[in-house]
Amino acid sequence: MTCDFDAFIDRRFGDSIKWNVCEEDELPLWVADMDFRCPEPVIAALQERVAHGIFGYGSAPSELREVLVARLAALYDWRVAPEAIVFLPGVVVGFNLAAQALTRPGDGLLIQTPIYPPFLTVAADAGLRPESMELSRRPDGAYEIDFDRFEAALSPHTAMFLLCNPHNPVGRVFRRDELERLAQLCFQKRVLICSDEIHCDFIFSGQRHYPIAALDPEIAASTLTLMAPSKTFNIPGLGCSFAVIPDPALRERFNAGQRGVVGHVNVLGYTAALAAYRDGGPWLESLLAYLEANRDFLVTYVREHLPGVHVAAPEGTYLAWLDCREAGIPGNPYEFFRARARVMLNDGATFGPGGEGFVRLNFGTPRALLTEGLERMRAALAELSV
């Protein structure tokens, strides 16, 4: 299986949020949506399913459950029962549903900032107390958890900790010892864990992903894990994800919260997910090599050609977190790069405390587009010194 990740595919034909919120001369390097054609087995499976011609109410294929169970065992030595998997139309749906179904109004929901923006509204939407603690940034730009601050943030009201691992936007892949400490503190305080692990397949050399629920059966009993093929195989528009909930009682509460509120996964989403997980491995292996090369190119370029901009190499995800606070940019760096470089990034301020002065850049794109975007940013910064 091959894929030309350098190929440019024109996406300005009407339905791409990433490309069509931009003006014609803008280059979009923002939302976590890659500019690569998805695996050929996925396309072939969808074509075969469409040719069938009937699109009635669907249910999860038993083979998909079997493939996922085998995948979790092979990658993480995590043994889960097929019934522990609950299919959902999206991970954002999953963590909002978890907050609403597994807590009570007035409970606290803890997050770690800066964080993927939809995390920031979960507490308010569920009638919960918003609680947060900011990740610590080292001199080299990498982030870590201050466990004293984390423990202090676990208030008497905290009922759920919403974890993001690998972390979006800072690119950390948390080590086993870090996850064990988080899990231990939550277990001691009887705090449920909802872990968004949608980027778990984007792990670069020298790193390893550990699902927090796979650390210990006691931790698994109070944890809900969210994963999806959407980012991994670039099929987010097909709306298929899943929760892993080993504890039957917790799973029943979660399922009860879905009834009459959350729609089913559509039949094409199931088709794509099965083909991707079953047959997309070689494509994913090639993709990871390409993304890691893009990451290395990006980090080197930023350090050599974007004065005052700092970046730590992401350990996972295809998202770079750029610190622009010393670049002499007047005002908001997101607005600056969009107006002066015609490059659309994500505004760090929208990621909560700790995000001000940063931008997030998506390097899941052909190298030529990434290079063009960086060169535009370089030219815009050079104009500041003229």
State which residues form the domain around 213.
44-279
CA 72 – CA 78 distance, rounded (Å): 5
Last residue of a domain, one of 262, 279, 296: 279
Last residue of a domain, one of 279, 308, 338: 279
Residue 46 burial (CB count, 10 A)? 18
Tens digits of per-residue pLDDT, 153-200?
999 999 999 999 999 999 999 999 999 999 999 999 999 999 999 999
**DSSP track, 225-255:** EEE-STTTTT-GGG--EEEE---HHHHHHHH
CA 363 – CA 243 distance, rounded (Å): 27
Say whether both 273 and 288 belong to one domain.
Answer: no
Say whether both 25 and 86 belong to one domain.
Answer: no
Per-residue model confidence (pLDDT) at position 1: 60
Say whether both 28 and 100 belong to one domain.
Answer: no
Last residue of a domain, one of 216, 245, 279: 279
Contact 380, 340 (CB under 8 A): yes
Residue 6 lies in a domain: no
Per-residue model confidence (pLDDT) at position 3: 87
CATH number at residue 286: 3.90.1150.10
DSSP class of residue 34? -
Per-residue model confidence (pLDDT) at position 182: 98
Per-residue model confidence (pLDDT) at position 305: 98
Estimate the crossing angle of helix 248-258 against helix 91-101, to 10 degrees.
110
164: helix, coil or strand?
strand
Query: In the chain, how many H helices and how many E strands?
Result: 13, 14
Residue with tokens 């190499």: 313
Contact 192, 156 (CB under 8 A): no
In DSSP terms, which residues pair with 358 in a beta bridge? 323
Say whether both 195 and 326 belong to one domain.
Answer: no
List the chain residues with pLDDT less than 50.
none
Per-residue model confidence (pLDDT) at position 13: 78
CA 64 – CA 28 distance, rounded (Å): 34
Burial of 180 from C-beta contacts in 10 A (0-12 / 13-18 / 19+): middle
Per-residue model confidence (pLDDT) at position 377: 98
pTM for this predicted structure = 0.97
